[in-house]
Amino acid sequence: MLNYYCPKCKIEIKKINRIINIHLTGDEKIINLYQCAKCKKYYLIISMEATIGPGTNYFAFRIDLKNNEAQKIKAMMEECSQYDGDDCPAHKFLDEFDNNNKHRRVILEDEIERWT
């Protein structure tokens, strides 16, 4: 697992919460909320290893969050365990948020093909 750093402060950021969604490929899509202890900025870091044909593709990217976005996501993630399966508003919201904010992605690890 990688360590992630605040792009502003250059210190390691702390994981606040995590949700695992299922991507349309059927693979796990891991959505983590991180925060910098120094500047208090929040980051959504999404990673996934997708099995495609004879190999796997891995990627990780960051979305820098506005404070109001981070507070909403944090609250939704904290309530996630109250729901079963597809009924969880946090899972649905985070998938939509990711899809609607592709233009804000900062690639941390590019899609690297690793053939098995």
Model pLDDT for residues 38-71, shown as the tens digit of each residue: 999 999 999 988 777 777 778 899 999 999 999 9
Q: Which residue, chain included where needed, has tokens 């996630």?
A: 80
| Contacts of residue 72, Cβ cutoff 8 Å, sequence gap at least 6 | none
DSSP assignment of 18-78: EEEEE-TTS-EEEEEEEE-TTT--EEEEEEEEEEETTEEEEEEEEEEPPHHHHHHHHHHHH
Q: Domain for residue 65, yes or no?
A: yes
List Cα–Cα distances, 16 to 11, 27, 73, in angstroms.
15, 23, 11
Q: Domain for residue 3, yes or no?
A: no
Q: Domain for residue 4, yes or no?
A: no
Q: Domain for residue 29, yes or no?
A: yes
Question: Whole-model pTM?
Answer: 0.86
Model pLDDT for residues 66-92, shown as the tens digit of each residue: 999 999 999 999 988 766 666 788 888
Check whether 30 has a pLDDT greater than 70. yes
Overall number of domains in the chain: 1
Q: Domain for residue 18, yes or no?
A: yes
> Of 28, 35, 42, 21, which is closest to residue 98 (Cα–Cα)?
21
